[in-house]
Amino acid sequence: MARAQLLILIALVVAAIVGFDLVRTIRTGRGLPNRITTTVTRKQPQRFRRYLYGDWIVLAFCAALILWALIRPETFGR
């Protein structure tokens, strides 16, 4: 059960970070795919959509992982 709780905590932290990034990206219209390259803006609709879809996919994965850890915690070992 301890591994499941740790996994839930990590998934919640990742989901919070990605959620804040998603909200900031939607509000400002600019996203930072990584800190080295240029920003993704609404002027680049294909890259901007991919960036938003990526955030949604990560949030869905975190939600599925949390649900799995809550329903079947024995699958994660001790």
**pLDDT of 25-55, one tens digit each?**
999 988 877 666 678 888 888 988 998 999 9
74 has pLDDT over 80: yes
Strand pairing category for 30-31 and 40-41:
antiparallel
Task: Give residue 78's pLDDT.
Answer: 66
- As for how many domains the chain has, the answer is 1
pLDDT bracket for residue 68 (50, 70, 90)? very high
**How far does the chain reach from its first CA to its final CA, in angstroms?**
6
Range of the domain at 50: 2-76
Please give the Cα distance from 11 to 20 (Å, whole number). Answer: 14
- Find the helix or strand (DSSP H, E) in which 41 lies: strand 40-41
Please give the Cα distance from 52 to 48 (Å, whole number). Answer: 6
pTM of the model: 0.85
Task: Give residue 66's pLDDT.
Answer: 96
